[in-house]
């Protein structure tokens, strides 16, 4: 069920008014945008590159396809999709946060990635695209920051073509007790200190750790995707479920 916009929601462990969450999340990403890529490498020990590679392989993008990289941030997935869809294809890097979008655009243009990539500032809950438009939508490490996740999933379902595929790459729930304990210690004790050293912003990484704990677990997100109209929904756990890749189709 969608959240009432006049109601409260979670910002990490805090309870806040729903209409204020987007601005609070925006402040986090304005703060960390310039060092976002460095922090991704440091805090995941580079493993995020393997998670994203698996996402690209699962997407199976082909020449001529239209791809939406939603909450695409600094453009890691967009860069690879641009190569895969070729000159006749199109990739849209969309993000609600203009600071992240600017970093992504600069990074990709510096790498010579132009022509088949466009940049759109967009809210996942109300995507500004036509119905039945994209062959593939990916949202990597972005869904947990969305205020109304059900509304966002329905919006993604609307803009997918029949036969199109949604891939949700997101932090999830470790499967074993030992991993959970180690992960909790790392997330709440070490990660904020890394954030403080690298970005001078421990608070944003405290929010990151908390937002992961508040995000729906693997089975809950699977059911949310089904409720939004996706079919053949399944997921793959990676790194013991610290991250999961959910996949669903529109028919």
Which residues belong to the annotated binding site for S-adenosyl-L-methionine? 74, 95, 123-124
Q: Alpha helices of 33-148 — where are they, by DSSP H?
A: 36-44, 48-59, 76-85, 98-110
Token pair for 16: 């806040």
> With the C-alpha atoms ordered 38, 28, 92, 139, is the resulting torsion angle positive or negative?
positive
> How far is Cα 94 from Cα 118, in angstroms, rounded to an integer?
8
Long-range contacts (CB closer than 8 Å, 24 or more residues apart) made by 15-20 = 18/147, 18/148
Token pair for 131: 């119905």
> How far is Cα 33 from Cα 99, in angstroms, rounded to an integer?
6
**Annotated binding-site positions:** 74, 95, 123-124
Strand bridging mode 8-11 / 14-17? antiparallel
- Asked if 90 and 67 touch (Cβ cutoff 8 Å), the reply is yes
User: Taking Cα atoms as reference points, which of 87, 63, 223 lies closest to residue 136?
Assistant: 63
Cβ neighbours around 27 below 10 Å, total: 14
> How far is Cα 65 from Cα 12, in angstroms, rounded to an integer?
36
């Amino acid at each position: 069920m969608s959240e009432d916009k006049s109601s409260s929601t979670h910002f990490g462990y805090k309870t806040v008014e729903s209409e204020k969450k987007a601005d609070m999340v925006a402040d986090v990403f304005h703060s960390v945008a310039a060092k976002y890529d460095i922090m991704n490498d440091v805090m995941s020990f580079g493993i995020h590159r393997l998670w994203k590679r698996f996402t690209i392989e699962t997407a199976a993008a082909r020449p001529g396809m239209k791809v939406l990289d939603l909450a695409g941030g600094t453009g890691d997935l967009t860069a690879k999709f641009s190569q895969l869809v070729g000159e006749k294809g199109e990739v849209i890097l969309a993000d609600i946060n203009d600071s992240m979008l600017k970093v992504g655009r600069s990074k990709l243009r510096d790498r010579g990635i132009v022509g088949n990539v466009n940049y759109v500032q967009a809210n996942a809950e109300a995507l500004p695209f036509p119905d039945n438009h994209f062959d593939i939508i990916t949202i990597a490490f972005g869904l947990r920051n969305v205020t109304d996740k059900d509304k966002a999933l329905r919006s993604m379902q609307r803009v997918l073509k029949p036969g199109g595929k949604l891939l949700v790459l997101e932090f999830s729930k470790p499967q074993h007790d030992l991993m959970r304990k180690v992960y909790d210690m790392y997330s709440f004790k070490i990660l904020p200190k890394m954030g403080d050293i690298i970005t001078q912003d421990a608070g944003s990484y405290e929010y990151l750790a908390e937002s992961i704990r508040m995000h729906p677990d693997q089975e809950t997100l699977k059911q949310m995707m089904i409720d939004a109209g996706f079919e053949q929904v399944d997921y793959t756990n990676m790194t013991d479920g610290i991250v999961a890749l959910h996949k669903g189709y529109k028919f």
